[in-house]
Chain A
Amino acid sequence: MHSSLLVVDWFFLLEKLIMIIAIVSVSLVIAMYETYFERKIAAYLQDRRGPNRAGPFGLLQPLADGLKLFMKEEIIPNTPNKFLFILGPCLAMLTAMMTSAVIPWGGTIDVFGRPVSLQIADINIGILFIFGVVSMGVYGIMIGGWASNNKFSLLAALRGASQVISYELPMGLSLIALLFITGSLKMSAIVGGQLDQLYNITYQPLGFLIFFICALAECNRTPFDLPEAENELNFGYHQEYSSMKLGFYLFAEYINMFISSVVMATLFFGGYDIPFVNDAALGQSIGANWLAVLEAISLIGKVAIFIFTFMWIRWTIPRFRYDQLMNLGWKGLIPLSLINMLITAAVVLWLKK
């Protein structure tokens, strides 16, 4: 009896290890190709062709870019704290990768008679975990900007920190309204509630809009890319960074974009549910494993649409001024999300009666 408690479930460890490696490498590859598609989409929106020299259709361009970043000289400026200077990009990368742990990437599959859920950790505070990790992303910007020992970097870091903090509020408030409906913080339960049902976007269109705007701000994407602000702050907090440290910052931004698209798809667009198809019936006919594959593809498809929208917005809308940004955040989105929350609460209470 006592010895059985100490028995390590090796299969469980192996399963989680494989899941972690798979998801980390998938998000890295997706982030890599996001850079390619960013340039391609930018080009197409501007009537250009984009990178097309490295490999067929320029598909090897991210590798060439990565190689270039690796070959560049590593410069550490004369800063009082070199440790923090290196810690900045590491933190940015770490927090970007950590969020993917609680996202359900598909249904349960069957491996040698064991049910394996395509989720690293199905914790019951999934959304809170995401919020906690995302808010830690500020440290990457803050520490990097401060340790650069440079006015522009510090200014950008301050801007970035205040922006991320002020847009986290409406993001959280818009999610509270969603949680009234789902009644659970667990990611798998939120997706499960949407499987073969109406997606949450139909109940929370305003909440989704607020969440989407805040997600843009959290990822430091245009029109909220004030921390970078090439033309005012000389690339902001990554000004002093070179080589792969800069690469880490840029990479973290793209991973963040991927993860926030996944979160939006999961919370509002049914996660891995295949649209217009009865998943349960489909699972009966083709088996659970194939269903899980199709579901993962469906999730990636939804994410791709979101990523395209992110890029589409970036190449359409000019950057906000700093006071406009703060006005929108504090005077626009927070009251709006509060109203959204109150109305949702009232409707939920009224329907319960």
Chain B
Amino acid sequence: MQSLTSRAKQVDRSPMTVVERLYLWNIFKGMWITLKHFFRKKPTIHYPEEKRPFSPVFRGLHILNRDEEGRERCTACGLCAVACPAEAITMEAAERVSGEENKYREEKYAARYEINMLRCIFCGLCEEACPKDAIYLSETFAPANYQRKGFIYGKDDLLIPHPKENPEEYQKAVGSRAKAPANA
């Protein structure tokens, strides 16, 4: 019969030789194999202590970006919510009143911004849709939670720390793939 692949192996049905029938020699061979595995390097990564590096294109949790003065970039235009194929994003817009210029970059801002991480498929279309570079996907993933409502991330979960008031946290959150903070 024509074999489909070159890897097909004919089953050997010839009667066992004396050595094979003794079985002992084959046991030693098997034990030699397991012993070699005993000293082999283990591929395990000890997870909480040691983490596998993410690839540079990994799409993880969302981050709402601020500009270099710490003002929120989001203008609540809703393009990300429109682009989202999983309909995971909801937002409510509000108008900036005078005196809030140091908090919001433009006249309109998102008073409420929620992403349902159970719906989100981490496709990154929101990042592509955003005209203000206000949202991008980071290198972390959503941690486990006991409740469903814990997976609905609000603004306080998503917003990046303030670059002036909390520079260390900010640097940590920015990670290796920060969008250039100065962006005209």
Which of B35, B43, B44, B46 makes the CB contact (< 8 A) with A312? B35
Q: How far is the CB of A140 from chain B (nearest CB, A)?
A: 29
Are A315 and B44 neighbours in the complex by a CB distance under 8 Å? no
Is the Cβ of B31 less than 8 Å from the Cβ of A316?
A: yes
Q: Smallest CB–CB gap between B18 and chain A, Å? A: 14
Nearest-Cβ distance from residue A54 to partner chain B, whole angstroms: 14
The answer to whether the Cβ of A82 comes within 8 Å of any Cβ in the partner chain is: no
Residues in B neighbouring A44, C-beta threshold 8 A: 37-38, 42
Contact of B42 among A41, A47, A316 (CB under 8 A): A47
Interface residues in B25-75 by Cβ distance below 8 A to A read 27, 30-31, 33-35, 37-38, 40, 42-44, 46
Residue of A nearest to B32 (CB): A316
The residue from B33, B34, B42 contacting A48, defined by CB atoms under 8 A apart: B42
B38→A317 contact, CB < 8 A: no
**Chain B residues, CB < 8 A from A313:** 27, 31
Residue in A41, A44, A315 whose Cβ sees the most chain B Cβ within 10 Å = A44
Check A312–B34 contact: CB distance below 8 A: yes
A45 touching B37 in the complex, CB below 8 Å, given contacts A313-B31, A316-B27: yes
The total of chain B residues at the interface (CB under 8 A) is: 13
Main secondary structure of the interface of A (DSSP, over half): loop
Report the count of interface residues on A (CB-CB < 8 A): 13
B110 to chain A, nearest CB (A): 42
Q: Is A46 an interface residue (CB 8 A)?
A: yes
State which residues 7-21 of B face A: CB under 8 Å.
none
Instruction: Provide the residues of chain A in CB contact with B42, threshold 8 Å.
Output: 44, 47-49
Nearest residue, chain B, Cβ from A41: B38
Interface residues of A in 32-63 (CB under 8 A from B): 41, 44-49, 52
Pair A45/B30 contact, Cβ less than 8 Å: no
CB distance from B106 to the nearest CB of A (A): 50
CA gap between A52 and B44 in the complex, in Å: 12
Q: How far is the CA of A316 from the CA of B23 in the complex (A)?
A: 13
CB distance from A299 to the nearest CB of B (A): 24
B22 to chain A, nearest CB (A): 10
Cα A45 to Cα B35 in complex, Å, equals 7
Q: Which residues of A contact B31 (CB under 8 A)?
A: 312-313, 316-317
Q: How far apart are A320's CB and chain B's nearest CB, in angstroms? A: 10
A316 B30 Cβ-Cβ under 8 A: yes
- Residue-wise interface mask of A (71-88) relative to B, using a CB-CB cutoff of 8 A (1 in contact, 0 not): 000000000000000000
B159 vs chain A, min Cβ distance (A): 35
Q: A45-B37, A316-B27 are in contact. List 11 more A-B contacts (CB 8 A).
A: A41-B38, A45-B34, A47-B40, A47-B43, A48-B42, A48-B44, A49-B44, A49-B46, A52-B46, A312-B31, A312-B34
- Chain A to chain B: the 10 pairs with minimum beta-carbon distance, closest first: A316-B34, A45-B34, A49-B44, A316-B30, A44-B38, A316-B31, A45-B38, A49-B42, A45-B37, A47-B37
